[in-house]
Amino acid sequence: MRIGVPREIKPAEQRVALTAAGATELAARGHEVVIERGAGEGSGIADAAYEAAGARIVATAAEAWAAELVLKVKEPIAHELDLLREDLTLFAYLHLAAAPELARALIDRGTTAIAYETVRAPDGSLPMLAPMSEVAGRLSVIQGARLLTAPAGGAGLLLGGVPGTRAGHTVVLGGGVAGTAAVEMAVGLGSRVTVLDVSLPRLRQFDTIYGGRVQTLHSNRVTVEESVRDADLVIGSVLIPGAKAPKLVTNEMVAGMRPGSALVDIAIDQGGCFADSRPTTHDDPSFTVHDTVFACVANLPGAVPRTSTQALTNATLHATTRIADHGWRAALSADAGLAEGLNTTGGQVANAAVASALDAQAAPLASLLA
């Protein structure tokens, strides 16, 4: 199979969908790997490294997109939509519930789109979303700590404090992979930490891990409101796979926060979990709401592309090889968890959560794989 890797063109996005080591594996299995010139430079991977791995460097994005299977990190943006076609399989982060225009383009073009973020492991976890969630969770606290500084518009508060001063209070909404990483980072920086989740077993795990040093609360409107009011930093890390994130933090809650508090929404790819959230960029990451500072960077792991690219390929390469070796239908038919990643094909929506967000009807998966 011919596998294409175009250069990412979303603003400030320097990740790439395949490492040189990944290219080596695919080439060794007899596949043709084509990489757009310069695609790996932001992640520290030179064109020469890909060539040494057996890949071929092409001059234009169109040449990479002409492959049967295209690997990307982020979803196609406006002027990439013309490159979509019926005989293309696209494997990338898509987040279609929050991107109806992209979903419509994939449907209209008949493209087979497999989303990293909805692929499931046998235990129900999201193995291809997990590494980027870990990166985003850790970065969210680092970003939040910076936003609390006076030059960034914050309250001038050191998140961990120093002896004799008050440490900042970090509230983490959602105890999944990203939330867990955020809690770990916030505790490491010396912050006082509260984590909220609807899963009592998950909250018990936090109690076991941190020995009571992290406050755990069952998530509901009352506990969210009380926690946000007392927070210096709020991390939004709520995820419903494939669906839009619920809006847990209202404008009224934000109005009641201390001036100079910070809110970082890492659920922004799925629409965000704060009512006032809107996507921002690495170049212009923050904005103010009332007297607080919001940051909602949609590709937060892109700030550390060397780490993120390697972690992503580690998570996706096995599935990529199966799709390349057997074709997408056979690969998905043999793996129910990978089949959960199918979002669109042949002009139909395959994922129920995506279909619901788009007010569409999901086609039966069995019929799409037949």
Positions marked catalytic: 95, 269
**Amino acid type, 312:** L
Cα-to-chain-centroid distance, residue 370: 30
Question: Which residues, in sequence order, are bridge partners of residue 32?
Answer: 2
Task: Specify which residues 115 forms β-bridges with.
Answer: 92
For residues 120 and 147, the answer to whether their CB atoms sit within 8 Å is no
CA torsion, points 311, 317, 318, 319, in degrees to nearest 10?
Answer: 110
Report the alpha-carbon distance of residue 2 to residue 34 in Å, rounded.
7
Contact 175, 197 (CB under 8 A): yes
As a whole number of angstroms, the distance between CA 305 and CA 134 comes to 14
Q: Is 117 exposed, middle or buried (0-12, 13-18, 19+ CB in 10 A)?
A: buried
